[in-house]
Chains A and B, each alone.
Chain A
């Protein structure tokens, strides 16, 4: 039995002037799932979740939360929270004040706020003495973690992440991906996660929605998403290998270690052909594995 739908988009269209950023979107988001939205730059991912958290109103269509239409409910009245692509931290505040902000709004007393902030600092591997540090003095990656902590402090029913890990180094990113996944399991909340990286999507999510130029090209679980349209996948993935997936079995995993995600490593012929096709399409190949072993192991994504 499928879990209940928490958020439903019904024929949602969003226009900015004459430009249609989202075209007739239909999407159900289930309670407690981890949904990842993947798509090339400018495909309308941010626009869509801005509608869902209440920062914009759709031009057409309806958004349901728990069966009620919430088109006109403002952001501060929705049980949703978003981690911005730009992070949108409060630059005049310290790390601690940023994290405590939603608690302060709710009128939580100072001691409990402080305790919670410390918990979150620990959770996100920020040193506790960052509590009094100005956010503008933090590095990009530290800021991203502060933004995550702030959203977690708000403790919403549905959490939206707009590429929250893009400025982190590979290792920390993997660690935080794991943390997020774990957090999702622990809290049982609904997570909606935007990323460019199909690899990240494959690793983390229950379901994946692929967007393309304002509409949803495909939605599905990791498994039944195994035949995405090639040109799209190539755009996201940066390489042109055809995907052939039989679930994350042993061979797929060993493929993933070589940079092929959720798939076995293609044959030598196919790899050469893909490179040839990529070259024809103007896609620069990533340095080949030969002589680049170390580089590849540190490569952020596929």
Chain B
């Protein structure tokens, strides 16, 4: 009887599985195959070569990768530090106010990322909102804050704020209040409770939030383009350039493969270590 049900299950999962393969796996395979073609070819009927991967190391592309991962890491850490107290308050202290904050944060997502970033460009640029006011009312002349690495990280922090905040709220609200009280009752100070109870029990939320922000930030390019100008070039930028201006699909594929492999293995490693069922609320 079990077997019949199993077979029916497999059968009903079949259409979706086929669709998933077509939509997700097939393009990945195409990219993977392209990445081992010689540079500047537009079909896959060539002898494979690893020339593109050599180019990655010899022509300085690894620097773009370094920037992308480095800035993503900085943004993730900054976001964690900013979001944790807010998430804690939203999960444990604020009551109706939590809903207001949630709505306020979600509403920003209704406006496209590029437009919001342009808003910051207008605010921060030379002769923009802030420097204009400063010149008029304080008599200080400044150059604006755009086109450097910190402002790119700021942009990443700004754009990916909700992706850190909400998983953290979810994670922290999974810490039972009585368990914290029990720890306090047994003599633990607030710091001890944070490290011994809060952090480990909220870990699924922390991992999911950090992973989301890191992965999205590592593949982001609008921030570095708009706010960063040409200060640094990130990996996503290089990939786009290789596919468009460079007309070098196989190089672009190779760069994409490298990014996918790094981020994919990171995600796999992180997710294998947390209990996702917990954060989905499926645990009893």
Report yes or no: A55 in contact with B185, Cβ–Cβ below 8 A.
Answer: yes
* Tally of chain A residues near chain B (CB < 8 A): 23
Write the chain A residue with the least CB distance to B190.
A76
Binds A, one of B53-61, B173-181, B235-243: B173-181
Chain A min CB distance to B279 (Å) = 14
Question: B residues within 8 Å of A by Cβ?
Answer: 176, 178-179, 181-189, 192, 196-197, 200-201
Contact (Cβ within 8 A) B186 A154: yes
Is there an interface contact between A84 and B178, defined as CB atoms closer than 8 Å?
Answer: yes
| Contact pick for A88, options B178, B188, B189, CB 8 Å | B178
Question: Is A12 an interface residue when CB atoms closer than 8 A count as contact?
Answer: no
Q: Is the interface of B mostly helix, strand, loop or mixed?
A: helix
Could you tell me if A88 and B181 are in contact, using CB atoms closer than 8 angstroms?
Answer: yes
The residues of A that contact B178 with a CB separation of less than 8 Å are 84, 86, 88
Of A55, A84, A102, the contact of B187 (CB 8 Å cutoff)? A102
Contact of A53 among B183, B185, B189 (CB under 8 A): B185
Interface string of A8-36 (1 = CB under 8 A from B): 00000000000000000000000000000
A294 at interface by CB-CB < 8 Å:
no
B193, closest chain A residue (CB): A76
Q: Which residues of B contact A53 (CB under 8 A)?
A: 185
Q: Report the nearest B residue to A74, measured CB to CB.
A: B184
Instruction: For residue A161, give the distance in angstroms from its CB to the closest CB of chain B.
Output: 13
**CB-based contact B185/A89 at 8 Å:** no
B192 contacts which chain A residues (CB < 8 A)? 105
Contact A75 B200 (CB under 8 A): no
The reply to whether A150 and B186 contact each other, CB–CB distance below 8 Å, is yes
- Chain A residues with CB under 8 A of B201: 91-92
Residue pair A102, B179 in contact (C-beta under 8 Å): no
Over the window 68-108 of chain A, the binary record of Cβ atoms lying under 8 Å from chain B Cβ atoms (1 yes, 0 no) is: 00000011100011101010111110000000011001100
Q: Is the CB of A75 within 8 A of B185?
A: yes
Question: In the assembled complex, which residues on chain B have CB atoms less than 8 Å from the CB atom of A90?
Answer: 179, 182-183, 196-197
**Residue in A closest to B203 when the chains form the complex, CB atoms:** A92
Apart from A92-B201, A105-B188, what 9 extra A-B contacts exist at CB < 8 Å? A53-B185, A55-B184, A76-B189, A84-B178, A84-B181, A86-B176, A86-B178, A88-B178, A89-B182
Contact partner of B182 (CB less than 8 A), chosen from A80, A84, A92, A106, is A84
Q: Chain A residues with Cβ under 8 A from B184's Cβ?
A: 55, 74-76
Q: How far is the CA of A105 from the CA of B196 in the complex (A)?
A: 10
Do A81 and B186 touch across chains, with their CB atoms under 8 A apart?
yes
Known A91-B201, A92-B200; contact A102-B186, beta-carbon cutoff 8 A: yes
Q: Which residues of B contact A88 (CB under 8 A)?
A: 176, 178-179, 181-182
A74 to B187 CA separation, bound complex (whole angstroms):
10
